[in-house]
Amino acid sequence: MLSTRSLKFVSLSSLILLAFTLLGAGAKAQGPAAPAVTVVSMKPREMLARVSVSGTLVARNEVFVNTRISGQVIERLNVDIGDQVTAGDILAVLDKRTLRVRLEQAQASLDRARASVQQAKSQIDLARVRLDQAQTSYNRNAKLRQTGTISQAVLDQSVTTLDSAQATVASAEDGLAVAKSSVAQAQAQVDLARLNLSFADIKAPVSGVISSRSAKRGAVAVAGPSPMFRIIDKGEIEVAVDVIETEIGLLKTGDEATLDIAGLGRLSGKVRQISPRVDQRTRLGTVRISLQPNPGLRLGLFANGWITAARRVAPAIPASAVLSDEKGDFVLRVIDGSVRKQRITTGLFWQGFREVTSGLSANQPVLLRAGAFFRDGDKVTPVAAKPGVQP
């Protein structure tokens, strides 16, 4: 027979065993706990679209200055590279001696032509006097012939003299026209010689900065493709950058740009011009960016940075919450402890966040990460992300 102490030990063991049995049965009935997931909601943020660019500093407009007359020696140079000039300033002076002689010759020819005009006018006056005399003689002889005082031969001679006088007047008038034409031609030669003489002073057509000078004192000036001077019009320097064809369509004139210029640091500017062409070989298009004035700007300096193509405050979620498949973008919402796929339309991507343009409301929580491991209907325990969470 069992003792009282043994009976008490058996009863306590039975109670413990019963308790563990009941606990195991309860845990088995409840099943495994739903995994905890971090969820976030859509919030407005400043979103930017930037296009990375690099390029070289160039003149906004570069003006070529060359001689308009050839064969004259460069007698004097008044400017050098880097000098500021004003429109009309004399940059160089050519030898004028030959040009002055040509002007004097043309002036002499003009004086002769003008004298010829005066001579032609005098001949017209004389011819008209003779014409009047011939006309008077003819009128008188015609009346005398009617009375039979003179013969027909005398009248015929008067007619011949009258016709000759009329022809002489016409010839004299033609001579005056020729003389006047010679005056016009001689005047044109004078104007041309005077113009060539003025071209001996090579002047700046615009105000700006001399960026190049090939002219040398004592050299013979030759009109050709190689300019004597190059001027940066108004001293305006900008950046020419190449943009890939898939991004150039995002840009528009007036877009803000931030560029790091070699030796100058960071400068801001704006898109001034977008090329209407894309190079067929490189698939790049050229964009011109105007810069803030800076005395340190130099042609040829390297620049790189970005153009802000878009800037707006828009609803966004961390990019880690956005998934994609063959149908497009989607997120996983948490509704009553279950995961549900939700199609969305996205926009800009900026600093780890994606703009949501449609498909989601601000009060609808979505999975922050690990969305690829869940399917529709999976049970989860949502945990709100801490403020300031980073994607």
For the segment 22-67, what is each residue's pLDDT rounded down to a tens digit? 444 444 445 567 888 899 999 999 999 999 999 999 999 999 999 9
Run of H or E including 206: none
Which residues have CB under 8 Å from 270's CB, separation 6+?
253, 254, 255, 256, 257, 289, 290
Question: What's the whole-model pTM score?
Answer: 0.67
Give the CA distances from residue 264 to residues 4, 29, 210, 259, 268, in Å, rounded to whole numbers and listed in that order: 99, 73, 21, 10, 12
- Cβ atoms < 10 Å from Cβ of 152: 8
Beta-bridged to residue 253, according to DSSP, are: none
Identity of residue 226? S
H-type alpha helices, the chain: 4-30, 97-147, 152-199, 245-248
- Cβ atoms < 10 Å from Cβ of 29: 7
**pLDDT at position 371, please?**
72
For residue 330, give both structure tokens.
């989607």
User: CA–CA separation, 350 vs 315, rounded Å?
Assistant: 12
Segments of the chain scoring below 70 in pLDDT: 1-32, 370, 388-391
For residue 102, give both structure tokens.
């040509």
Q: What is the set of domains in the chain, with CATH numbers?
A: 36-47+313-384 (2.40.420.20), 51-59+234-312 (2.40.30.170), 62-95+201-230 (2.40.50.100), 97-199 (1.10.287.1700)
**pLDDT at position 151, please?**
82
For residue 373, the SS3 value is helix
- Picking from 197, 204, 205, 202, the residue whose alpha carbon sits closest to that of residue 219 is 202
Identity of residue 299? L
**pLDDT at position 86, please?**
96
Which DSSP state fits 379? B
**pLDDT at position 152, please?**
86
Which DSSP state fits 33? P
Q: Are 260 and 83 in contact (CB under 8 A)?
A: no
| Phi-psi label, residue 344: left if phi above 0, alpha if psi -120 to 50, beta otherwise | beta
Beta-bridged to residue 243, according to DSSP, are: 285
Give the CA distances from residue 278 to residues 2, 87, 255, 342, in Å, rounded to whole numbers and listed in that order: 103, 36, 19, 39
**pLDDT at position 390, please?**
54
Matching residue, tokens 């067929």:
280
Identity of residue 80? D
Q: Are 239 and 297 in contact (CB under 8 A)?
A: no
For residue 302, give both structure tokens.
């390297």
**pLDDT at position 357, please?**
93
Identity of residue 386? K
User: In the chain, count of helices (H) and strands (E)?
Assistant: 4, 22
User: CA–CA separation, 360 vs 375, rounded Å?
Assistant: 19
